[in-house]
A and B are shown apart, each in its own frame.
Chain A
């Protein structure tokens, strides 16, 4: 499709529970990026993929966060043992190549209570 589809739109988890977020990039886009938006305008890069390979994971809190992009499946971002500070909107973006811009998904709002 022509949009980046993120599911679910909203997710509520109790502290310590697992959270799993999904992102279907635009067909034909090789690059997928995950960003975390905390507060209102603070974006933090988490991880990027080139096809199913991790391209850059320097932003990932590795002890609890993991991500995958497997062939023929939506990409996923999983948070084990969520903490209150993980409450944020998680955006996925995809890109076809360096010559093209990004298309952002509508985000998943994660609330940890």
Chain B
């Protein structure tokens, strides 16, 4: 079993829909990251969180430390949101390396 599990693996949505991507992890962590990888391959860090909730534009990330679960929400989705969204947890102390989930491939249709 992977230490970081994401669901769904693939997600197709219509423009404007509300999207939720889930991440569960089984290890102790100091922080959780949500990353976005575009088809060109570049990786953008969206959020780093260790508790509660963060919001940036149409993106919202939440984490429940007790349940070892995080969600990434996208409101009013747009075709430009199409990308792979990756959950990664920071283990082994404050400067530990990241353990990555396998990603969720999101495709938003116009």
- Chain A: residues with CB nearer than 8 A to chain B? 31, 33, 35, 40-43, 45, 48, 50, 55-56, 59, 89, 91, 95, 98, 100-104, 106-107, 109
Cross-chain contact of B30 among A98, A104, A106 (Cβ < 8 A): A98
- CB–CB A33/B98 < 8 A: yes
> At the interface, yes or no: B26 with Cβ under 8 Å from chain A?
no
CB distance from A100 to the nearest CB of B (A): 8
Question: 20 A-B contacts, Cβ less than 8 Å apart?
Answer: A31-B95, A35-B98, A40-B103, A41-B100, A41-B102, A42-B102, A43-B86, A43-B88, A43-B98, A45-B99, A48-B97, A56-B96, A56-B97, A98-B95, A102-B98, A104-B42, A106-B42, A107-B41, A107-B42, A107-B43
Note all chain A residues with C-beta closer than 8 A to B33: 101-102
* Number of A-B residue pairs at CB separation under 8 A: 57
Note all chain B residues with C-beta closer than 8 A to A103: 45
> At the interface, yes or no: B44 with Cβ under 8 Å from chain A?
yes
- CB–CB A104/B43 < 8 A: yes
Determine the distance from Cα of A66 to Cα of B94 in the docked complex, in whole angstroms. Answer: 24
Interface residues on B, range: 20 to 34
- CB–CB B42/A41 < 8 A: no
Note all chain A residues with C-beta closer than 8 A to B98: 33, 35, 43, 45, 102
CB distance from B102 to the nearest CB of A (A): 5
Determine the distance from Cα of A40 to Cα of B10 in the docked complex, in whole angstroms. Answer: 13
Nearest residue in B to A31 (C-beta to C-beta)? Answer: B95
Determine the distance from Cα of A103 to Cα of B100 in the docked complex, in whole angstroms. Answer: 15
- CB–CB B44/A104 < 8 A: yes
- CB–CB A41/B45 < 8 A: no
If A42-B102, A45-B99, A50-B95 touch, whether A101 touches B42 (CB-CB below 8 Å) is: no
Determine the distance from Cα of A34 to Cα of B64 in the docked complex, in whole angstroms. Answer: 29
- CB–CB A41/B86 < 8 A: yes
Determine the distance from Cα of A31 to Cα of B93 in the docked complex, in whole angstroms. Answer: 14
